[in-house]
Amino acid sequence: MAELEKAFLEIEGGERIPCLYNPETVSMGRRNSWVSTPMPGKGVPSLRYAGANGGWLRLDLEFDTTAQGVSVTRHTGRLLGLMDIKPDLPGTDAGSNNARPPTVTLHWGDLHSFKSVVSDLQVSFTYFSSTGVPLRATVRLELQQYEESRAFGPQNPTSGTPRPGRTHRVQPGETLDRISARYYGDSTRWRMLAAANAVEDPLALRPGTVLSVPRLES
């Protein structure tokens, strides 16, 4: 029997937040902006395309620590922390106006979301111990796309149709040249993987990192 693949959130900076239970559904969508200018004495005006908006992703997560007898807030608190400013992120300065919360990416098997930020988070505690310790919670999480991505297809009308790619989760002891040999049959193509994933040190891959594996042009 195949091992159950567990979903997790990858946090900017390398932290992971595992999902105790996989979500039942993951909803995503996008919205384009269209505008019109009503004119007195005129009929229904034509719409004018005003640009693309980022995507969104929604999911509900369940957390239960009844068996351990400890507060479930040890899990929900980590999620709430994703909405707090993290001053040591790349491109930010502590105490400046560009400080921001970290980005988040959902991974679940072959599903890898766009890089996002938490735009809305609701926690409902649904079960308590006799002493009032919360033991079970439901978290409704909404993620907003942070930057342009092809995780669910092209989003820029000028970007064309991308060549389909794959992803690879780094295993302990793996190096870029070994991964390159696996997918391309040529270990010298590791530079393509490094460029596609902004890897600065190919010898310092962190196990569990999800790499994009571009397909070769035909």
DSSP one-letter string for 64-120: E-TTTTS-THHHHHHHHGGGS-BTTSTT--TTSTT-BPPPEEEEETTEEPPPEEEEE
* Domains, the chain: 1-30+50-149 (2.40.30), 164-218 (3.10.350.10)
| Block residue for tokens 């991505």 | 149
| Block residue for tokens 């439901």 | 138
Residue 58, token pair as written in the block: 């929604």
Instruction: Say what the pTM is.
Output: 0.65
pLDDT one-digit tens code per residue, 152-206: 655 544 443 334 457 788 888 888 888 888 888 888 888 888 888 888 777 778 8
pLDDT band at 42 (very low <50, low <70, confident <90, very high): confident
C-alpha span between 166 and 210 (Å, rounded): 10
pLDDT one-digit tens code per residue, 64-101: 999 999 999 999 999 999 999 887 887 676 566 778 89
Query: Is a pLDDT exceeding 90 seen at residue 58?
Result: yes
Average pLDDT for 211-217: 77
